[in-house]
Structure 1
Amino acid sequence: MVNKGAQAPSIRILQRQINTKVSALSFDLDVPEIDCSLRSVLEDQGAIFQDTGPPVSFGNDDVAAAALDTGVVVVDRSHWGRLRICGDDRLKFLHGQSTADFLSLQPGTGCRTVFVNRNGRTIDLAACLVQGSGITVIVSPSRRVMISDRLEQYIFFGDKVEVQDISESTVLFTLAGPKSDDLIKALGAGSLVGGEEGCHAVFGAAGQPVVVSVARELGIPGYNIIASEGIGGDLWKSLVGQGAVPMGEVGWEQARVLAGRPAVDHELTDLYNPLEACLCSAVSVTKGCYIGQETLSKLSNLDAVKQQLWGLDLSAPASVGDEVSDGSTKIGIVTSIAQQRDGRPFALGYIRCRSKGAQVPLEGKRVTVGNADATIVTVPFATRTLTSQTVSA
């Protein structure tokens, strides 16, 4: 068991190159302690658990929220799914299974992509890392089995593709906040700073591989770290020792709502498509055939998106499912609720953005949500229009 007063392991960084031509780094950690499991480390740092899930809180929710605004937090997202797609046809395969253009990606790069059904409705938002011998796909916890089964279902005879679930053998940590770049620089991975979403490098720690990727999961500077489960505890201590403030699920949920990051069973359901969910940066409508492409292309070509995801700055509390109205007319529905840093209520909701055949501006519009007044506001995670890359990919 780790002593509560023990210092975090020191880190020494060595630059090298690996055969995928991706920059690689080496974390020379102190010798791992015996039985230094991730859960024991989290418990020593005050983690509060419910059953076998992730830490709900570290008893520091206000401190973590402040660190997200002015410093850096670290979140244990190891309960999220991690699938590895291998084989010579892996890029072509994922190209046809989700919304992003995989054929344009090279090792060391990555992207966000959306898994949709045949009607173009959302199943999950995933983060993908293209490596030399495989693609790592990070999916929502409740979609791990569903997406793995779906991918297996679409592997046909002759396809050189294999799907592996590496969730149980790895950990996933997310860094977020304005000082996350400083922490990454301190670890010797400054070459990642300013990189595109999904840009990543391979590390080594205690003889095990570690992958660090640019991941603005909350619409602000941040990184994802995937490592072997066996070194998860020591790696977590190292990050906290470098100044990252632990954040639990309560803090993550508040932060993702304020950022406008859509979540499964809230904003990502079979009622909505990724253009409505403001995930346009993850969608190509001209890359060629993929599941759901026909619907999304039609919506884009006709400029026919009728509703989009917005933030709602509320004057009083509201509930998921409350109607958003403009006078006496329903124009939307609330999908998620949170509190702002000062305690004021905030919501996410789908709002009708088309009237009489034309798109209408919504930012700053005053509306009613349940019994509360509200102002429609933009959220940092949202991308509302298809870029030249997503259109011409």
Structure 2
Amino acid sequence: MALPFDLEQTWLYPLPEFSLIALQGEDRRRFLHNQTTNAVEARAVGEWFETVFVNSTGRTLELATVYVRQDSLWLQVEAGQKDFLWQWMDRFIFPFDKVELRDLSAHYRAVVLLGEKVEEHNLGWQLPTGNQWLAQSVQGVELLISAQTGLDLPGYTVIFPADQQELVNQLWGHLPLINPDQWESLRIYQGRPQAGKELTEDYNPLEAGLWRAISFTKGCYIGQETIARLNTYQGVKQRLWRITLDRQAEAGTVITLEGQKVGILTSVKGLTGLGYLKTKLVDQGMTVQLGEAIATVEKPPYLSHQYYQGPS
């Protein structure tokens, strides 16, 4: 199955809703380190990384992208989760903590430049690589450019002041646009889980394949005991897969194998979906059913598991 876009061409995706929370204060690293799954205190200024907010039983609340700045941590989160996460973090800030939350969502916007030849459109700038981000000044405006698209596809995310949309149009307005429906197709094809669909309190980040965002050596954090136990005893009972259908189905449809329920479809666009399937019963390449639809189980590139025991 091929990607729904030709990555030989460079595409522009203006994020329709962009939410950004800044953590300030000298305790900001320690605070986020203790609230999420990744090793925040080990990260250097100029890095970006992903981390997962989980509840006390290790169930998933949100996957955030964090930019480490000299004086703050910027958290890029889904718009629908911003207020919830703000309240969640605020309840754990105690009077003696030197941590301050600031909502930057009204002040910044973001676009994603997607494609294998995106460097041809960088105007000769130095570009970040790996888990780096760089600040570039263009006509006196600071742009934050990170070497990631959120989908494990080649390209960059550019964060810019909200009142500088015209500058962004001048720089990249000639590129073909990706609309939200097309982006949703890409998200599902790549396998990035989304809050309210794959990321809910029904699932944990190991089931969601978010090993990239989890440290097993960082020590205690909210939900750490449950996640550590699942990892130690290889107790992941279900796993997120890409589902390729032969006909339409709706999110929430039960997935069966030989008449037995083995999972549920969590997202779908066209004939491609995502769904959680029982670890001991389903493996890559198997055929499952969703009502009248026949579907093939595939591994999406965004997700990873450091161990996996398939059906015996």
State if a TM-score over 0.5 links the two structures. Answer: yes
Alpha-carbon distance in 2 for matches of 1:161, 1:170: 21
CA offset at residue 207 of structure 1? 2.4
1:202 is matched with 135
CA offset at residue 109 of structure 1? 0.8
Q: Which has the larger radius of gyration?
A: 1
Contact kept in structure 1, 2:244 and 2:273, CA below 8 Å = yes
Alpha-carbon distance in 2 for matches of 1:165, 1:144: 9
Contact kept in structure 2, 1:260 and 1:311, CA below 8 Å = yes
1:252 is matched with 183
Contact kept in structure 1, 2:18 and 2:109, CA below 8 Å = no
Alpha-carbon distance in 2 for matches of 1:180, 1:310: 29
CA offset at residue 65 of structure 1? 5.0
CA offset at residue 263 of structure 1? 0.9
2:74 is matched with 136
Give ranges in structure 1 of 5+ residues lacking alignment.
Answer: 1-63, 340-344, 356-360, 387-393
What are the superposed Cα offsets for residues 96-132 of structure 1, whole Å, 9 maximum, x if unpaired? 1111111110001120011111111111111001011
**Identity among equivalent pairs (%):** 30
| Residue number among 234, 247, 250 corresponding to 2:167 in the alignment | 234
CA offset at residue 142 of structure 1? 0.4
Q: Match for 2:293: what amino acid?
A: A
What are the superposed Cα offsets for residues 42-95 of structure 1, whole Å, 9 maximum, x if unpaired? xxxxxxxxxxxxxxxxxxxxxx9534x332222111512101111111111110
1:314 is matched with 245
What are the superposed Cα offsets for residues 147-192 of structure 1, whole Å, 9 maximum, x if unpaired? 11222221112211111111101111112222224434x44123x2
Alpha-carbon distance in 2 for matches of 1:82, 1:107: 18
2:254 is matched with 323
Alignment pair present for 1:370 and 2:291: yes
TM-score (structure 2 length as normaliser): 0.93
Contact kept in structure 2, 1:257 and 1:338, CA below 8 Å = yes
- How do 1:56-71 residues align onto structure 2 when only pairs under 5 Å count? 66-67=5-6, 69-71=7-9
Alpha-carbon distance in 2 for matches of 1:140, 1:133: 23
- How do 1:333-344 residues align onto structure 2 when only pairs under 5 Å count? 333-339=264-270
Q: Match for 1:383: what amino acid?
A: S
Q: Match for 1:385: what amino acid?
A: Q
1:95 is matched with 33
Pairs aligned (count): 305
- How do 1:379-390 residues align onto structure 2 when only pairs under 5 Å count? 379-385=300-306
Alignment pair present for 1:154 and 2:92: yes
User: Are residues 298 and 181 of structure 1, via their aligned partners in 2, closer, same or farther at CA, if it must alter by over 3 Å?
Assistant: farther
RMSD value, Cα: 1.7
Q: Match for 2:148: what amino acid?
A: A
Alpha-carbon distance in 1 for matches of 2:166, 2:60: 34
What are the superposed Cα offsets for residues 360-381 of structure 1, whole Å, 9 maximum, x if unpaired? x611111112211111011111
Contact kept in structure 2, 1:108 and 1:130, CA below 8 Å = yes
